[in-house]
Each structure stands twice: as C-alpha cells, then as structure tokens.
Structure 1
C-alpha cells in the first residue's frame, strides 16, 4: 500500500524539520530516528510507508550463517516488501555488525523499495552505494549481522533510533534524517506543515528585508495579519 499521490507530493515539499515542529505542536516529541544519516550527499527526499524489520541481540544457537536460509530471514522479508515502501530496521543501535550488504540492497532496489532506514550499519559499503538504493544509517561495519544480532521478524511494531514505528506508518527522510508520522495523523500533518512552510517563506522574506525577529518569529497579531494578506496573493 503506497502513500496516496496527493499526500506524498505534499510531503515531498516539506522538510523533516518542519514536520517535527508540527508534530511537536500536536504533542509528539519523539519522532526523529536517532542515528539515521544519509550514506551519501544528494540522496532524494523520500516519503513512503514503513515496512518494519526487527533484530534482537545475537544468540549463538540462532544467529548463525545457516539462519540466512530460514523462512524467517532477512532474505524472506525482502521478498515481502511492496513497491515504494521504506524498509525501517530495528538494529538496536548496534554499529559493529552490518545488517544488509550489497546483494540484499541490490534485491531491494530491484523490488522497488524506496529506501532503507536503520539505527544500525550496513556492510560492503562500496557495493551498497553501487546499488543506488537510498540508505539512512549510522555507517558501515565489515562483520555480518549474525556477529551481533538475531533477525526475528518483519511487519511488527519496532523501535528504530528510539522511536516507536508501526507497519504502514509514514516515514519521511531527507538530509536531516528520518521522521515518522503516525498513519492517522498524516493528512492533518501534511496540511499543517504546508501552512508552516508558507509562513516561514514569508518570514524569511521579511528577514531578508532586514526585519528583526521579535514579534516576527513567531509572528504577533500584527505580523500574522500581514502574512495572511500576503498569503492571499500566493
């Protein structure tokens, strides 16, 4: 299930910084996934529904190379990923075991996965970059995932970067990292964030013209009235 085209296009024009501000006003403070950094500059902004994967600490009888052939494996999970989803992986913040390498990322790209987001790391960095799959993570590590993690399941609630992520929540990623929008709030957030961006466009034009910040950011009643007049012309 993809994000509706109108909502997706609306969110693509909004920064994650604005989204976190709007969610803060709605009482949600913990929506930015810590450690989710773009692996290269210039990755596109992406909006998609979360497809969740979950790791737990390694247990020697389960975290083995043989587990890669199990019906419950990262390989099987990738084959269940729908086109346009954002794979969000709970790696518990482990940074010395790469959860995915070049082959798995290549398959995800072939399946039309929009992006990989994790609080862990990848391996085979040069190969991962070569797949063209946009990735947000904490970096790279050569050891395989089973060195430090056990894969458990997919499409269940997880924690990624300290944020609770449920399957099909909306994920927005840009140069500032990954932000989660709960499914039931996405339309309201998109509308409020669009208005916030328009207001900040006007505020920036005032700052460029030499205006001082007190009473402008945030705007007092007089400036808010001036903004509303300006907005009628946009």
Structure 2
C-alpha cells in the first residue's frame, strides 16, 4: 500500500463506523455508506472491542449456470496484506461461501478480517483463530454444488433489496459492533476532517448534557 493509503487507514482507526457514516451523510453519500445486514460473528458475537479497517479485496460468486468462466485459481492465495476480504454471493444462497481454512490462509497473508455477504461456516474455528468475521448468517454446506467464483477484485453489489450499494476494490471497509460501512476511496480525504469535527462536537455535547444542558440546547451550541 502507498503511504497516503496507509495514512488514511491509520487515521480511520480512531473512528467508529457511526463516525464514518455521519461524515458520509454530510457528503451526501447514500445511507452513510452503511451495508445493512452484516454483523460481527467472530472473534465474538456482537461483543468486545473488535474493529477492522482496510481496503476491500472483493470476491464475486455466481451460480454454476452463469456463463462467466470459473476463476482459474483460489482467490484466498492472492489476498493483499492489510486488506479486508469482501465475499459476495447471490442473495438467499443457503450454502456457506467461506470457511475456517480461508481464514487460516487470510491470517497468514496479513488480512485484517473478512466480510461475508452471505453465509460462512466453521464458527468455532474462526473464533479459535480470533479472526474477525462479519456476515449475514452461518451455514454448514460448502458452496461448490451451487456456486463458483467468477471474479476477484471487481465491483460487487450488496446482496439485499434494502439498498443499492456497491463495494469496489480499494474502497475502505470499516466494521465494528455497529456494523459495516464502505467509505469510497475518493471521499476518504474529505470525510476524515468531518469525522474529527463531529467527534469533537459530540464530546462537548456529552459533557454539557451530563451537567444538565438539554440536548436541543447542546445541539444548537455545538453543532
């Protein structure tokens, strides 16, 4: 990763997904970058201090009858260090598309976590590895009877009818207890100062509210 890229990742580490979303809302980016339906499963289920930040490395699964050729190698062997793996599969797929051996290889490659837009498996193994997993749900069967990987590092769509959201290679993915947010890489430098300003304002509001000031008055004063 380039130095500016590294600097942005370092700067993002101190902000929550809510902070990132607030900044993106100010920039009029839809839904504040929130990717609905994806929650933390490992190393704990919606608990603890786990947070991941990194550029997206995307994986696209498609049905076996899709005309796209199968990707010639296994995507997990090319995961860049520092990246967040984002695995996309067709909506309502009952089979898992990601497992424990994938995380073992991802850890060895230096990935910081995986976001599965679908089901994953081997939850005990994921937790034993203390590897961060955010996903829609768990499953048991592997994907081979239904799906194939068609592409790696291409734009993918979030698999939900709730939103029309795209995740592109290199976009920043931030995930914590609040969920998963995508920060488009071209908006990162604009968004960071807005996050800082918002956090400072919220801290001042919280201080005054604890002393008895109303929320309305604090909002007017600091926002």
**TM-score normalised according to structure 2 size:** 0.86
What is aligned with 1:191? 193
Instruction: Give the 3-state SS of the residue equivalent to 1:121 in structure 2.
Output: strand
Distance of 1:60 and 1:213 partners within structure 2: 54
Matched with 2:72 is: 72
SS in 2 for 1:189: helix
Distance in 1 (alpha carbons) for counterparts of 2:144 and 2:155: 21
Pick closer, same or farther for the CA change 1:60–1:16 going to 2, 3 Å: closer
Supply the distance in 2 between the matched residues of 1:107 and 1:93 (Cα, whole angstroms).
26
Secondary structure (helix, strand or coil) at the match of 1:4 reads helix
**Root-mean-square deviation (CA), in Å?**
2.3
| Distance apart, 1:126 and its partner CA | 1.1
Structure 1 gaps of 5+ residues are 228-234
SS at match of 1:27: coil
Q: What does residue 52 of structure 1 align with?
A: 58
Q: Distance in 1 between matches of 2:201 and 2:91?
A: 36
Any idea what the Cα deviations from partners look like across 1:7-42, whole Å, max 9, x if unmatched? 223211111112112111111123211221000222
In the alignment, which of 101, 108, 111 is matched to residue 109 of structure 2? 111
For the pair shown, the structure with the greater C-alpha radius of gyration is 1
Give the superposition deviation at 1:147.
3.7
State the alpha-carbon separation in 2 of the partners of residues 53 and 9 from structure 1: 25
Please list every run of 5 or more consecutive structure 2 residues that lacks an aligned counterpart in the other structure. Answer: none
Cross-structure match for 1:6: 7
Offset, 1:98: 0.8
Aligned with 1:86 (options 78, 84, 91): 84
